[in-house]
Amino acid sequence: MGHSILIIDDSPGIREEIKSVLKETEMFDKYYESSDGMEGFKMMFSNLPDIVICDLVMPGLDGIKFLKLKNARKEFDRIPVLILTSMDNIGDKIRALAEGAQDYVTKPFSPPELVARVKAHLRIKLLQDELISAKEKLETMSNNTQHRIKLLQDELINTRETLESMHNIDPLTGLYNRRFFISLLENEFERAKSYNTPLSLLMIDMDHFKIVEETCGPLISDKILTLVAGIFRTGLRKIDACARYGGETFATMLSGIDVAGAMLIAETYMNEMKKQDISNLCKNLNSLTFSIGIACLPDEHINNVNEFIICANKALDDSKNNGRNAISIYHSR
């Protein structure tokens, strides 16, 4: 039997955009739509979708009220709800999760992230359905079927862990996102300060990337960002970390690496970029360069992570002011 999804949003354009993205995956055979929470709640009774995507802010019955109605009906317990929220409203996200939403997707959404989250929650839902069905027949099942239950339970746990890790990953590049990177940096900073061991932070900015976007367009620009992320990922040890810090800016944390080692890594990044034939992606673009700023511990004038990041950014600014395609090291004044 095919799978179905219910999309609740007062914007026909957003509903159509979500459908267009998901139809490419062939995850669902049926798509149900509603322009408000009450109509969507009624549609759940007659169609019992496998998953629901619901906007948080709508006239009439909004996303929070929809979740409250859904929670009152036990037959809807296993239907996951993904809430659509604005990018910067943390309070709305917390409220939605507290009312029983399984996850949220920020608007404007990234198609790869939307697909990944929907796919993960659909998989969890189907695993739960299969697991419950199997448990109901437990008394008459063979040992092989009981083993299948164990496999389902393990897969369910693994899928949930994968979904949780997605909150730490930039969906385009596969690198850590800024929030998670800073949390890792805070831990390593405290350790380096406590034991007086080296720790290096590289802030990396792609030179003239606005021109690249205007010349090549957004799709090719995204491919270039993904290519560059691969360069930064190569050679990283498990104790290191690399993140897309924002837009075309990246950051690398190198544990136990001093100034000389950090300089060597930065030069490796730049040399690897020179080897890339960017014209294969955009015929109007022959090359691409980085500006890199480096800050290192030990440094008695750097007392916290915020100061550490500011120092690396100051060095990055020096590289840009020196004509870009350069590496600068922060020195305490």
Q: Is residue 196 part of a domain?
A: yes
Which pLDDT score is estimated for 202?
97
Which pLDDT score is estimated for 41?
93
On the 0-12 / 13-18 / 19+ scale of CB atoms within 10 A, 94 is exposed
Q: Is residue 133 part of a domain?
A: yes
Q: Is residue 154 part of a domain?
A: yes
| Separation between Cα atoms, residue 41 and residue 37, nearest integer Å | 6
- pLDDT tens for 222-237 read 988 999 999 998 878 8
| Average pLDDT estimate for 155-182 | 79
Q: Is residue 14 part of a domain?
A: yes
pLDDT of 45 > 80? The answer is: yes
Which pLDDT score is estimated for 52?
95
Shared domain for 192 and 318, answered yes or no, is: yes
Which pLDDT score is estimated for 282?
79
Shared domain for 35 and 153, answered yes or no, is: yes
Last residue of a domain, one of 108, 132, 166: 166
DSSP letter for 141, please.
Answer: -
pLDDT of 1 > 60? The answer is: no
Residue carrying the six token digits 């009439």:
60
Shared domain for 257 and 285, answered yes or no, is: yes
Which pLDDT score is estimated for 198?
94
Query: Per-residue confidence at 262, pLDDT binned at 50, 70, 90?
Result: very high
Q: Which residue has the higher pLDDT, 115 or 135?
A: 115
Query: Per-residue confidence at 106, pLDDT binned at 50, 70, 90?
Result: confident
Q: Is residue 231 part of a domain?
A: yes
pLDDT of 267 > 70? The answer is: yes
Shared domain for 154 and 182, answered yes or no, is: no
What sign for the dihedral angle of Cα 9, 14, 20, 21? Answer: negative
pLDDT of 254 > 60? The answer is: yes
Shared domain for 137 and 279, answered yes or no, is: no
Shared domain for 180 and 91, answered yes or no, is: no
Shared domain for 159 and 191, answered yes or no, is: no
- Domain CATH number, residue 209: 3.30.70.270
Shared domain for 66 and 131, answered yes or no, is: yes
Last residue of a domain, one of 132, 166, 200: 166
Q: Which residues of 102-137 are buried (b: 16+ CB within 10 A; e: fewer)?
A: bbbbbeebbeebbbbbbbbbbbbbbbeeebeebeee
Query: Per-residue confidence at 313, pLDDT binned at 50, 70, 90?
Result: very high
As for how many domains the chain has, the answer is 2
Q: Which residue has the higher pLDDT, 90 or 327?
A: 327
Which pLDDT score is estimated for 15?
93
CB atoms < 10 A from the CB of 222, how many? 16
Which pLDDT score is estimated for 288?
87
Which pLDDT score is estimated for 316?
96
pLDDT of 261 > 90? The answer is: yes
Q: Is residue 93 part of a domain?
A: yes
pLDDT of 149 > 80? The answer is: no
Query: Which of 209, 214, 203 lies closest to 308, judged by CA?
Result: 203
- Domain CATH number, residue 154: 3.40.50.2300
Shared domain for 197 and 273, answered yes or no, is: yes
Q: Is residue 131 part of a domain?
A: yes
Shared domain for 244 and 310, answered yes or no, is: yes
| Average pLDDT estimate for 157-178 | 78
The identity of residue 305, as a single letter, is V
Which pLDDT score is estimated for 161?
62
Shared domain for 17 and 117, answered yes or no, is: yes
Q: Is residue 171 part of a domain?
A: no
Shared domain for 187 and 292, answered yes or no, is: yes
Last residue of a domain, one of 148, 166, 184: 166
- pLDDT tens for 185-220 read 999 999 999 999 999 999 999 998 888 888 888 888
| Domain extent for 272 | 176-329
